[in-house]
A and B are shown apart, each in its own frame.
Chain A
Protein backbone atom coordinates (compact mmCIF):
# COMPACT_ATOMS: atom_id res chain seq x y z
CA UNK A 1 0.00 0.00 0.00
CA UNK A 2 2.79 2.38 0.90
CA UNK A 3 4.37 1.62 -2.49
CA UNK A 4 1.18 2.60 -4.23
CA UNK A 5 1.03 5.81 -2.27
CA UNK A 6 4.68 6.54 -2.96
CA UNK A 7 4.27 5.84 -6.67
CA UNK A 8 1.20 8.02 -6.81
CA UNK A 9 2.90 10.90 -4.98
CA UNK A 10 5.93 10.70 -7.27
CA UNK A 11 3.73 10.58 -10.38
CA UNK A 12 1.72 13.58 -9.19
CA UNK A 13 4.85 15.50 -8.30
CA UNK A 14 6.32 14.75 -11.73
CA UNK A 15 3.16 15.96 -13.40
CA UNK A 16 2.84 19.14 -11.29
CA UNK A 17 6.49 20.10 -11.73
CA UNK A 18 6.71 18.72 -15.29
CA UNK A 19 9.83 16.72 -14.54
CA UNK A 20 10.63 13.02 -15.19
CA UNK A 21 9.39 10.71 -12.41
CA UNK A 22 12.76 8.93 -12.48
CA UNK A 23 14.44 12.08 -11.13
CA UNK A 24 12.38 11.87 -7.92
CA UNK A 25 13.46 9.67 -4.99
CA UNK A 26 11.70 9.35 -1.64
CA UNK A 27 14.47 11.05 0.29
CA UNK A 28 14.86 13.91 -2.17
CA UNK A 29 14.38 17.26 -0.46
CA UNK A 30 11.65 19.19 -2.28
CA UNK A 31 13.94 22.19 -2.42
CA UNK A 32 16.42 20.18 -4.50
CA UNK A 33 13.69 19.53 -7.05
CA UNK A 34 13.03 23.26 -7.27
CA UNK A 35 9.62 22.83 -5.59
CA UNK A 36 8.62 26.15 -4.02
CA UNK A 37 5.59 26.96 -1.89
CA UNK A 38 3.34 27.49 -4.91
CA UNK A 39 4.24 24.07 -6.34
CA UNK A 40 3.69 22.52 -2.89
CA UNK A 41 0.19 24.05 -2.63
CA UNK A 42 -0.66 22.70 -6.07
CA UNK A 43 0.79 19.27 -5.30
CA UNK A 44 -1.14 18.94 -2.02
CA UNK A 45 -4.30 20.12 -3.76
CA UNK A 46 -3.94 17.36 -6.38
CA UNK A 47 -3.14 14.71 -3.75
CA UNK A 48 -6.13 15.71 -1.59
CA UNK A 49 -8.40 15.00 -4.56
CA UNK A 50 -6.68 11.73 -5.50
CA UNK A 51 -6.79 10.27 -1.99
CA UNK A 52 -9.98 11.97 -0.85
CA UNK A 53 -8.27 13.46 2.19
CA UNK A 54 -7.74 16.90 3.67
CA UNK A 55 -4.17 17.78 4.64
CA UNK A 56 -4.04 20.18 7.61
CA UNK A 57 -2.09 23.46 7.12
CA UNK A 58 0.15 22.77 10.12
CA UNK A 59 1.25 19.42 8.59
CA UNK A 60 1.74 21.05 5.21
CA UNK A 61 4.21 23.52 6.73
CA UNK A 62 6.48 20.75 7.99
CA UNK A 63 6.97 18.99 4.67
CA UNK A 64 10.62 18.83 3.61
CA UNK A 65 11.02 15.62 1.54
CA UNK A 66 8.92 13.49 -0.76
CA UNK A 67 8.78 10.86 1.97
CA UNK A 68 7.25 13.39 4.41
CA UNK A 69 4.33 13.67 2.00
CA UNK A 70 4.03 9.90 1.52
CA UNK A 71 4.03 9.22 5.27
CA UNK A 72 1.57 12.05 5.96
CA UNK A 73 -0.83 10.74 3.34
CA UNK A 74 -0.51 7.18 4.62
CA UNK A 75 -1.60 8.33 8.07
CA UNK A 76 -4.61 10.21 6.70
CA UNK A 77 -5.64 7.35 4.40
CA UNK A 78 -5.33 4.82 7.24
CA UNK A 79 -7.50 7.02 9.46
CA UNK A 80 -10.08 7.22 6.65
CA UNK A 81 -10.07 3.44 6.08
CA UNK A 82 -10.36 2.63 9.79
CA UNK A 83 -13.70 4.38 9.66
CA UNK A 84 -12.86 7.13 12.09
CA UNK A 85 -14.02 10.57 11.04
CA UNK A 86 -11.35 12.28 8.96
CA UNK A 87 -9.14 13.82 11.63
CA UNK A 88 -8.19 16.70 9.37
CA UNK A 89 -11.66 17.65 8.23
CA UNK A 90 -12.39 19.20 11.60
CA UNK A 91 -11.05 22.65 12.33
CA UNK A 92 -7.56 22.25 13.71
CA UNK A 93 -7.89 24.29 16.83
Chain B
Protein backbone atom coordinates (compact mmCIF):
# COMPACT_ATOMS: atom_id res chain seq x y z
CA UNK B 1 0.00 0.00 0.00
CA UNK B 2 1.46 3.42 -0.90
CA UNK B 3 1.88 5.89 1.96
CA UNK B 4 -1.33 7.75 2.80
CA UNK B 5 -1.58 11.40 3.76
CA UNK B 6 -2.55 11.82 7.40
CA UNK B 7 -5.00 14.46 8.62
CA UNK B 8 -5.67 15.83 12.09
CA UNK B 9 -9.48 15.95 12.30
CA UNK B 10 -10.02 16.56 16.00
CA UNK B 11 -8.19 18.18 18.90
CA UNK B 12 -8.75 18.13 22.63
CA UNK B 13 -6.76 19.74 25.40
CA UNK B 14 -6.75 20.53 29.09
CA UNK B 15 -3.85 22.55 30.47
CA UNK B 16 -3.07 25.61 32.55
CA UNK B 17 -4.01 27.85 29.63
CA UNK B 18 -7.56 26.46 29.48
CA UNK B 19 -9.86 23.53 30.15
CA UNK B 20 -10.63 22.95 26.46
CA UNK B 21 -9.29 23.88 23.03
CA UNK B 22 -11.27 27.08 22.70
CA UNK B 23 -10.16 28.41 26.08
CA UNK B 24 -6.55 27.28 25.78
CA UNK B 25 -6.03 28.57 22.24
CA UNK B 26 -7.73 31.85 23.06
CA UNK B 27 -5.20 32.35 25.84
CA UNK B 28 -2.11 31.06 24.00
CA UNK B 29 -2.72 33.07 20.83
CA UNK B 30 -2.90 36.24 22.93
CA UNK B 31 0.33 35.48 24.75
CA UNK B 32 -1.19 35.22 28.22
CA UNK B 33 1.01 33.25 30.65
CA UNK B 34 -0.84 30.79 32.89
CA UNK B 35 2.00 30.67 35.41
CA UNK B 36 1.30 31.48 39.06
CA UNK B 37 1.86 30.38 42.66
CA UNK B 38 1.57 26.61 43.17
CA UNK B 39 -1.62 25.79 45.08
CA UNK B 40 -1.84 21.97 44.96
CA UNK B 41 1.37 21.37 46.94
CA UNK B 42 2.79 23.05 50.06
CA UNK B 43 5.89 24.75 48.65
CA UNK B 44 7.32 26.04 51.93
CA UNK B 45 10.31 23.68 51.69
CA UNK B 46 10.90 24.40 47.97
CA UNK B 47 13.19 26.95 46.33
CA UNK B 48 10.60 27.63 43.60
CA UNK B 49 6.96 28.46 44.12
CA UNK B 50 5.47 29.04 40.65
CA UNK B 51 4.07 26.66 38.07
CA UNK B 52 1.40 26.34 35.39
CA UNK B 53 -1.30 24.32 37.14
CA UNK B 54 -4.68 23.37 35.71
CA UNK B 55 -7.10 25.59 37.66
CA UNK B 56 -10.83 25.26 38.11
CA UNK B 57 -10.82 21.56 37.31
CA UNK B 58 -13.42 19.42 39.06
CA UNK B 59 -12.74 15.70 38.55
CA UNK B 60 -16.25 14.84 39.75
CA UNK B 61 -17.78 16.80 36.89
CA UNK B 62 -15.99 14.51 34.42
CA UNK B 63 -15.89 11.19 36.27
CA UNK B 64 -19.05 10.31 38.20
CA UNK B 65 -19.16 8.18 41.32
CA UNK B 66 -16.09 6.16 42.13
CA UNK B 67 -14.69 6.46 38.59
CA UNK B 68 -12.58 9.48 39.54
CA UNK B 69 -10.85 7.34 42.19
CA UNK B 70 -9.94 4.72 39.60
CA UNK B 71 -7.91 7.19 37.51
CA UNK B 72 -4.82 9.14 38.54
CA UNK B 73 -4.94 12.80 37.53
CA UNK B 74 -2.67 12.13 34.51
CA UNK B 75 -5.08 9.48 33.18
CA UNK B 76 -8.06 11.79 33.81
CA UNK B 77 -6.39 14.44 31.65
CA UNK B 78 -5.86 11.88 28.86
CA UNK B 79 -9.52 10.81 28.88
CA UNK B 80 -10.85 14.39 29.04
CA UNK B 81 -8.69 15.47 26.09
CA UNK B 82 -9.68 12.34 24.13
CA UNK B 83 -13.40 13.01 24.73
CA UNK B 84 -13.09 16.54 23.38
CA UNK B 85 -10.99 15.43 20.41
CA UNK B 86 -13.32 12.68 19.24
CA UNK B 87 -16.43 14.85 19.64
CA UNK B 88 -14.65 17.60 17.73
CA UNK B 89 -13.75 15.24 14.88
CA UNK B 90 -17.37 14.19 14.42
CA UNK B 91 -16.25 10.67 13.56
CA UNK B 92 -18.62 7.78 14.21
CA UNK B 93 -16.82 4.98 16.01
CA UNK B 94 -18.47 1.95 14.43
CA UNK B 95 -17.48 -1.54 15.68
CA UNK B 96 -15.48 -2.06 12.47
CA UNK B 97 -13.61 1.23 12.88
CA UNK B 98 -12.94 0.57 16.57
CA UNK B 99 -11.02 -2.59 15.66
CA UNK B 100 -8.82 -0.48 13.39
CA UNK B 101 -8.38 2.35 15.89
CA UNK B 102 -4.98 2.89 17.53
CA UNK B 103 -4.37 4.62 20.87
CA UNK B 104 -0.81 5.86 21.39
CA UNK B 105 -0.25 8.20 24.33
CA UNK B 106 2.85 9.60 25.97
CA UNK B 107 3.59 10.33 29.61
CA UNK B 108 6.84 10.93 31.46
CA UNK B 109 6.01 9.86 34.99
CA UNK B 110 2.49 8.42 34.80
CA UNK B 111 0.75 8.22 38.16
CA UNK B 112 3.56 9.63 40.27
CA UNK B 113 1.19 11.27 42.78
CA UNK B 114 -0.54 7.96 43.33
CA UNK B 115 2.85 6.32 44.00
CA UNK B 116 3.78 9.14 46.37
CA UNK B 117 0.62 8.65 48.43
CA UNK B 118 1.31 4.93 48.66
CA UNK B 119 4.89 5.49 49.79
CA UNK B 120 3.68 7.99 52.37
CA UNK B 121 1.31 5.38 53.84
CA UNK B 122 4.03 2.78 53.88
CA UNK B 123 7.17 4.60 54.98
CA UNK B 124 5.87 7.64 56.81
CA UNK B 125 2.66 6.45 58.43
CA UNK B 126 4.05 2.90 58.85
CA UNK B 127 0.77 1.43 57.67
CA UNK B 128 0.97 -2.25 56.95
CA UNK B 129 -0.93 -1.97 53.68
CA UNK B 130 -1.51 0.41 50.80
CA UNK B 131 -4.48 1.38 48.65
CA UNK B 132 -5.44 -1.49 46.37
CA UNK B 133 -5.58 0.60 43.18
CA UNK B 134 -2.04 1.95 43.17
CA UNK B 135 -0.91 -0.27 40.31
CA UNK B 136 -3.83 0.37 37.89
CA UNK B 137 -3.76 4.10 38.68
CA UNK B 138 -0.01 4.61 38.52
CA UNK B 139 1.09 2.49 35.56
CA UNK B 140 2.29 4.65 32.66
CA UNK B 141 -0.13 2.95 30.26
CA UNK B 142 -3.15 3.80 32.46
CA UNK B 143 -4.01 6.81 30.28
CA UNK B 144 -3.87 4.79 27.05
CA UNK B 145 -5.87 1.92 28.57
CA UNK B 146 -8.56 4.24 29.98
CA UNK B 147 -8.97 5.90 26.58
CA UNK B 148 -9.29 2.48 24.91
CA UNK B 149 -11.99 1.42 27.38
CA UNK B 150 -13.86 4.71 27.18
CA UNK B 151 -14.28 4.47 23.40
CA UNK B 152 -14.07 0.71 22.81
CA UNK B 153 -10.91 1.16 20.76
CA UNK B 154 -9.59 -2.36 20.26
CA UNK B 155 -6.77 -1.83 17.77
CA UNK B 156 -3.08 -1.38 18.54
CA UNK B 157 -2.59 0.57 21.78
CA UNK B 158 0.40 1.43 23.93
CA UNK B 159 2.08 4.15 25.98
CA UNK B 160 5.38 5.81 25.29
CA UNK B 161 7.63 7.20 27.98
CA UNK B 162 10.63 9.19 26.81
CA UNK B 163 10.52 11.99 29.39
CA UNK B 164 9.88 15.35 27.70
CA UNK B 165 9.69 13.82 24.22
CA UNK B 166 7.00 11.25 25.14
CA UNK B 167 4.09 12.91 23.34
CA UNK B 168 6.01 13.72 20.18
CA UNK B 169 7.23 10.15 19.97
CA UNK B 170 3.64 8.98 20.52
CA UNK B 171 2.16 11.25 17.85
CA UNK B 172 4.97 10.34 15.45
CA UNK B 173 4.40 6.62 15.81
CA UNK B 174 0.61 6.97 15.52
CA UNK B 175 1.19 9.05 12.38
CA UNK B 176 3.37 6.30 10.89
CA UNK B 177 0.73 3.67 11.69
CA UNK B 178 -2.07 5.60 9.99
CA UNK B 179 0.20 6.54 7.07
CA UNK B 180 1.13 2.96 6.26
CA UNK B 181 -2.34 1.52 6.87
CA UNK B 182 -1.85 -0.22 10.23
CA UNK B 183 -4.73 1.84 11.63
CA UNK B 184 -7.66 3.76 10.14
CA UNK B 185 -7.95 6.14 13.08
CA UNK B 186 -5.70 7.09 15.98
CA UNK B 187 -6.09 8.80 19.32
CA UNK B 188 -2.67 10.21 20.07
CA UNK B 189 -0.97 12.77 22.29
CA UNK B 190 -0.17 12.53 25.95
CA UNK B 191 -0.71 13.73 29.50
CA UNK B 192 1.17 14.55 32.67
CA UNK B 193 0.31 15.49 36.26
CA UNK B 194 3.63 16.05 38.03
CA UNK B 195 2.49 18.12 41.01
CA UNK B 196 3.47 16.15 44.08
CA UNK B 197 6.09 17.17 46.61
CA UNK B 198 8.37 14.23 45.82
CA UNK B 199 8.68 15.07 42.14
CA UNK B 200 8.92 18.84 42.72
CA UNK B 201 11.77 18.20 45.17
CA UNK B 202 13.49 16.01 42.60
CA UNK B 203 13.23 18.78 39.97
CA UNK B 204 14.52 21.32 42.47
CA UNK B 205 17.57 19.14 43.12
CA UNK B 206 18.33 19.18 39.36
CA UNK B 207 18.81 22.96 39.67
CA UNK B 208 16.90 23.75 36.48
CA UNK B 209 13.79 25.39 37.97
CA UNK B 210 13.15 29.11 37.54
CA UNK B 211 12.22 30.82 40.81
CA UNK B 212 10.19 33.45 38.93
CA UNK B 213 8.79 32.63 35.50
CA UNK B 214 9.71 31.02 32.20
CA UNK B 215 11.55 33.33 29.76
CA UNK B 216 12.72 31.18 26.87
CA UNK B 217 15.64 32.57 24.82
CA UNK B 218 16.03 35.63 27.08
CA UNK B 219 19.26 36.88 28.60
CA UNK B 220 17.73 36.86 32.10
CA UNK B 221 16.07 33.43 31.85
CA UNK B 222 16.51 31.39 34.99
CA UNK B 223 15.19 27.98 34.08
CA UNK B 224 12.01 26.10 33.42
CA UNK B 225 8.57 26.25 35.02
CA UNK B 226 6.60 23.03 35.34
CA UNK B 227 3.18 22.59 33.76
CA UNK B 228 0.56 19.85 33.62
CA UNK B 229 -2.29 18.72 31.41
CA UNK B 230 -3.14 16.56 28.47
CA UNK B 231 -3.83 16.87 24.75
CA UNK B 232 -5.12 14.40 22.18
CA UNK B 233 -5.29 14.53 18.38
CA UNK B 234 -7.53 12.42 16.18
CA UNK B 235 -5.60 11.21 13.13
CA UNK B 236 -7.24 9.77 10.01
CA UNK B 237 -6.15 9.15 6.43
CA UNK B 238 -6.76 12.43 4.62
CA UNK B 239 -8.80 10.66 1.96
CA UNK B 240 -11.15 9.08 4.52
CA UNK B 241 -11.53 12.40 6.32
CA UNK B 242 -12.43 14.19 3.07
CA UNK B 243 -14.81 11.38 2.07
CA UNK B 244 -16.85 11.84 5.25
CA UNK B 245 -16.73 15.62 4.92
CA UNK B 246 -14.70 16.12 8.08
CA UNK B 247 -12.98 19.39 8.84
CA UNK B 248 -9.24 19.02 8.55
CA UNK B 249 -7.17 21.11 10.97
CA UNK B 250 -3.81 20.23 9.43
CA UNK B 251 -1.83 17.31 8.09
CA UNK B 252 1.13 15.66 9.74
CA UNK B 253 3.74 15.90 7.02
CA UNK B 254 6.78 14.28 8.60
CA UNK B 255 8.36 12.85 11.73
CA UNK B 256 12.00 12.63 12.80
CA UNK B 257 13.76 11.06 15.76
CA UNK B 258 17.32 10.90 17.03
CA UNK B 259 19.39 10.19 20.11
CA UNK B 260 22.24 12.41 21.33
CA UNK B 261 24.14 9.47 22.86
CA UNK B 262 26.09 12.11 24.74
CA UNK B 263 24.97 13.11 28.24
CA UNK B 264 21.89 12.38 30.32
CA UNK B 265 21.04 16.08 30.90
CA UNK B 266 23.30 18.23 28.68
CA UNK B 267 21.87 18.64 25.16
CA UNK B 268 23.86 18.65 21.94
CA UNK B 269 23.36 20.62 18.75
CA UNK B 270 23.85 17.59 16.51
CA UNK B 271 21.10 15.39 18.03
CA UNK B 272 18.21 17.87 17.77
CA UNK B 273 19.48 18.98 14.34
CA UNK B 274 19.38 15.40 13.07
CA UNK B 275 15.82 14.94 14.38
CA UNK B 276 14.65 18.12 12.61
CA UNK B 277 16.46 17.19 9.40
CA UNK B 278 14.97 13.73 9.55
CA UNK B 279 11.44 15.19 9.90
CA UNK B 280 12.04 17.33 6.79
CA UNK B 281 13.42 14.36 4.87
CA UNK B 282 10.49 12.16 5.97
CA UNK B 283 8.07 14.66 4.46
CA UNK B 284 10.30 15.39 1.46
CA UNK B 285 10.35 19.03 2.54
CA UNK B 286 12.82 21.87 2.02
CA UNK B 287 13.79 24.37 4.76
CA UNK B 288 12.34 27.30 2.78
CA UNK B 289 8.85 25.78 2.93
CA UNK B 290 8.68 26.35 6.70
CA UNK B 291 7.39 29.50 8.36
CA UNK B 292 7.09 28.58 12.03
CA UNK B 293 8.83 26.45 14.64
CA UNK B 294 7.20 25.70 17.98
CA UNK B 295 10.45 25.32 19.88
CA UNK B 296 11.26 23.02 22.75
CA UNK B 297 12.34 26.32 24.38
CA UNK B 298 12.45 25.32 28.04
CA UNK B 299 14.05 28.52 29.31
CA UNK B 300 17.01 26.62 30.81
CA UNK B 301 20.56 27.88 30.29
CA UNK B 302 21.37 24.67 28.40
CA UNK B 303 18.50 24.24 25.97
CA UNK B 304 17.85 27.60 24.38
CA UNK B 305 21.24 28.46 22.77
CA UNK B 306 21.70 24.82 21.75
CA UNK B 307 18.29 24.63 20.10
CA UNK B 308 18.96 27.97 18.39
CA UNK B 309 22.21 26.64 16.92
CA UNK B 310 20.47 23.44 15.82
CA UNK B 311 17.78 25.47 13.99
CA UNK B 312 20.56 27.45 12.25
CA UNK B 313 22.23 24.21 11.20
CA UNK B 314 19.08 22.73 9.71
CA UNK B 315 17.56 25.82 8.10
CA UNK B 316 20.72 27.65 7.04
CA UNK B 317 20.05 31.21 5.82
CA UNK B 318 16.27 30.55 6.02
CA UNK B 319 16.56 30.34 9.85
CA UNK B 320 16.52 34.13 10.02
CA UNK B 321 13.18 34.21 8.18
CA UNK B 322 11.53 31.66 10.48
CA UNK B 323 9.20 32.67 13.28
CA UNK B 324 10.11 30.63 16.38
CA UNK B 325 8.26 30.64 19.69
CA UNK B 326 8.13 28.70 22.92
CA UNK B 327 4.59 28.38 24.23
CA UNK B 328 6.08 26.84 27.40
CA UNK B 329 6.35 30.48 28.47
CA UNK B 330 2.57 30.26 28.95
CA UNK B 331 1.50 26.63 29.63
CA UNK B 332 4.75 25.69 31.37
CA UNK B 333 6.78 22.58 30.69
CA UNK B 334 4.25 19.78 30.84
CA UNK B 335 7.01 17.15 30.43
CA UNK B 336 5.46 14.05 28.81
CA UNK B 337 2.44 16.10 27.69
CA UNK B 338 4.53 18.96 26.28
CA UNK B 339 4.65 17.67 22.70
CA UNK B 340 0.89 17.09 22.62
CA UNK B 341 -0.01 20.51 24.04
CA UNK B 342 2.46 22.20 21.68
CA UNK B 343 1.11 20.22 18.72
CA UNK B 344 -2.31 21.68 19.44
CA UNK B 345 -0.77 25.17 19.59
CA UNK B 346 1.03 24.55 16.28
CA UNK B 347 -2.04 23.11 14.54
CA UNK B 348 -4.24 26.02 15.66
CA UNK B 349 -1.55 28.48 14.54
CA UNK B 350 -1.57 26.95 11.05
CA UNK B 351 -5.36 26.83 10.93
CA UNK B 352 -6.04 30.39 12.14
CA UNK B 353 -2.96 32.10 10.71
CA UNK B 354 -1.96 33.40 14.16
CA UNK B 355 1.47 32.47 15.52
CA UNK B 356 1.54 32.32 19.32
CA UNK B 357 4.27 34.43 20.92
CA UNK B 358 7.01 33.71 23.43
CA UNK B 359 5.53 35.37 26.52
CA UNK B 360 7.48 36.99 29.38
CA UNK B 361 10.08 38.06 26.82
CA UNK B 362 12.55 40.68 28.02
CA UNK B 363 15.83 40.89 26.11
CA UNK B 364 17.23 38.17 23.86
CA UNK B 365 20.31 36.24 24.93
CA UNK B 366 23.08 37.20 22.48
CA UNK B 367 23.46 33.46 21.82
CA UNK B 368 19.79 33.29 20.81
CA UNK B 369 19.48 35.29 17.62
CA UNK B 370 16.28 34.10 15.92
CA UNK B 371 12.87 35.77 15.63
CA UNK B 372 11.15 34.49 18.79
CA UNK B 373 7.82 36.36 18.34
CA UNK B 374 8.33 38.32 21.58
CA UNK B 375 5.16 38.84 23.65
CA UNK B 376 2.78 39.78 20.81
CA UNK B 377 1.10 37.25 18.49
CA UNK B 378 1.96 37.36 14.79
CA UNK B 379 -0.66 37.27 12.06
CA UNK B 380 0.88 35.05 9.38
CA UNK B 381 -0.32 32.36 6.98
CA UNK B 382 2.23 29.61 7.19
CA UNK B 383 2.17 26.41 5.16
CA UNK B 384 4.59 24.23 7.14
CA UNK B 385 5.58 24.24 10.82
CA UNK B 386 7.79 22.13 13.05
CA UNK B 387 7.19 21.20 16.68
CA UNK B 388 10.29 20.21 18.65
CA UNK B 389 10.65 18.01 21.73
CA UNK B 390 14.03 17.14 23.22
CA UNK B 391 14.19 14.99 26.34
CA UNK B 392 16.55 14.45 29.25
CA UNK B 393 18.39 11.34 28.23
CA UNK B 394 19.10 12.93 24.85
CA UNK B 395 16.06 11.55 23.01
CA UNK B 396 14.67 13.90 20.37
CA UNK B 397 11.37 13.82 18.45
CA UNK B 398 10.22 16.38 15.89
CA UNK B 399 6.89 16.66 14.06
CA UNK B 400 6.25 18.54 10.81
CA UNK B 401 2.73 19.87 10.24
CA UNK B 402 1.15 21.19 7.05
CA UNK B 403 -1.69 23.70 6.97
CA UNK B 404 -4.83 22.43 5.29
CA UNK B 405 -5.82 25.66 3.60
Enumerate A42-77 residues with CB–CB distance to B below 8 Å. Answer: 44-45, 54, 56-58, 60-61
Enumerate B181-235 residues with CB–CB distance to A below 8 Å. Answer: 205-209, 211-212, 222-223
In this assembly, does B152 line the interface, its C-beta being within 8 Å of a C-beta of chain A?
A: no
Q: Which of B47, B265, B266 contacts A57 (CB 8 A)?
A: B47
Give chain B residues whose Cβ lies under 8 Å from the Cβ of A44: 207
Residue of A nearest to B45 (CB): A89
A54 to B48, CA, bound (A): 13
Residue of A nearest to B263 (CB): A36
Residue of B nearest to A90 (CB): B47
Contact A57 B212 (CB under 8 A): no
Contact A41 B47 (CB under 8 A): no
A37 to B265, CA, bound (A): 8
Q: Which of A37, A41, A45, A58 contacts B222 (CB 8 A)?
A: A58
> A44, A54, A57, A91: which has the most chain B beta carbons within 10 Å?
A57
A11 to B222, CA, bound (A): 31
Enumerate A19-45 residues with CB–CB distance to B below 8 Å. Answer: 36-38, 41, 44-45
Q: Which of A37, A54, A92 contacts B211 (CB 8 A)?
A: A92
Q: Whole-angstrom distance from the CB of B49 to the nearest CB of chain A?
A: 6
In this assembly, does B240 line the interface, its C-beta being within 8 Å of a C-beta of chain A?
A: no
Give chain A residues whose Cβ lies under 8 Å from the Cβ of B263: 36-37
Contact B209 A57 (CB under 8 A): yes
In this assembly, does A3 line the interface, its C-beta being within 8 Å of a C-beta of chain B?
A: no
In this assembly, does B122 line the interface, its C-beta being within 8 Å of a C-beta of chain A?
A: no
Give chain A residues whose Cβ lies under 8 Å from the Cβ of B207: 41, 44, 57, 60-61
Contact A61 B266 (CB under 8 A): no
Give chain A residues whose Cβ lies under 8 Å from the Cβ of B211: 57, 91-93
* Chain B interface mostly: loop
A83 to B206, CA, bound (A): 29
Contact A36 B206 (CB under 8 A): no
In this assembly, does B301 line the interface, its C-beta being within 8 Å of a C-beta of chain A?
A: yes
Q: Which of B205, B209, B212, B301 contacts A41 (CB 8 A)?
A: B205
> A44, A54, A60, A92: which has the most chain B beta carbons within 10 Å?
A92
Give chain B residues whose Cβ lies under 8 Å from the Cβ of A92: 47, 211
A70 to B194, CA, bound (A): 35
In this assembly, does B380 line the interface, its C-beta being within 8 Å of a C-beta of chain A?
A: no
Contact B264 A38 (CB under 8 A): yes
A88 to B264, CA, bound (A): 28
Q: Which of B48, B205, B206, B208 contacts A91 (CB 8 A)?
A: B48
A57 to B301, CA, bound (A): 12
> B49, B205, B207, B208: which has the most chain A beta carbons within 10 Å?
B207
Residue of B nearest to A40 (CB): B207
Q: Whole-angstrom distance from the CB of B144 to the nearest CB of chain A?
A: 32
Q: Whole-angstrom distance from the CB of B171 to the nearest CB of chain A?
A: 30
Contact A54 B301 (CB under 8 A): no
Q: Given A36-B266, A37-B266, A61-B301, does the pair A54, B47 have CB atoms closer than 8 Å?
A: yes
Q: Whole-angstrom distance from the CB of A77 to the nearest CB of chain B?
A: 19
Give chain A residues whose Cβ lies under 8 Å from the Cβ of B209: 57
Q: Given A41-B206, A57-B47, does the pair A93, B212 have CB atoms closer than 8 Å?
A: yes
Contact B47 A45 (CB under 8 A): no
Enumerate B307-345 residues with CB–CB distance to A below 8 Å. Answer: none
Give chain A residues whose Cβ lies under 8 Å from the Cβ of B48: 91
Per-residue A-contact encoding for B105-122, CB less than 8 Å = 1, 0 else: 000000000000000000
A91 to B211, CA, bound (A): 7
Q: Whole-angstrom distance from the CB of B288 to the nearest CB of chain A?
A: 37
Contact B265 A38 (CB under 8 A): yes
A54 to B204, CA, bound (A): 12
Q: Whole-angstrom distance from the CB of A64 to the nearest CB of chain B?
A: 14
Contact A57 B223 (CB under 8 A): yes
- Knowing that A37-B266, A57-B207 are A-B contacts, what are 15 other residue pairs whose CB atoms are under 8 Å apart, sorted by A's residue number? A36-B263, A37-B263, A37-B265, A38-B264, A38-B265, A41-B205, A41-B206, A41-B207, A44-B207, A56-B47, A57-B222, A57-B223, A60-B207, A61-B301, A91-B47
Binding site for B on A (CB under 8 A): 36-38, 41, 44-45, 54, 56-58, 60-61, 91-93
A–B Cβ pairs within 8 angstroms, 16 of them: A36-B263, A36-B266, A37-B263, A37-B265, A38-B264, A45-B205, A54-B47, A57-B207, A57-B208, A57-B209, A58-B222, A60-B207, A91-B49, A91-B211, A92-B47, A93-B212
The 10 tightest CB contacts between A and B, nearest first, are A57-B207, A92-B211, A91-B211, A60-B207, A93-B211, A93-B212, A91-B49, A41-B207, A37-B265, A37-B266
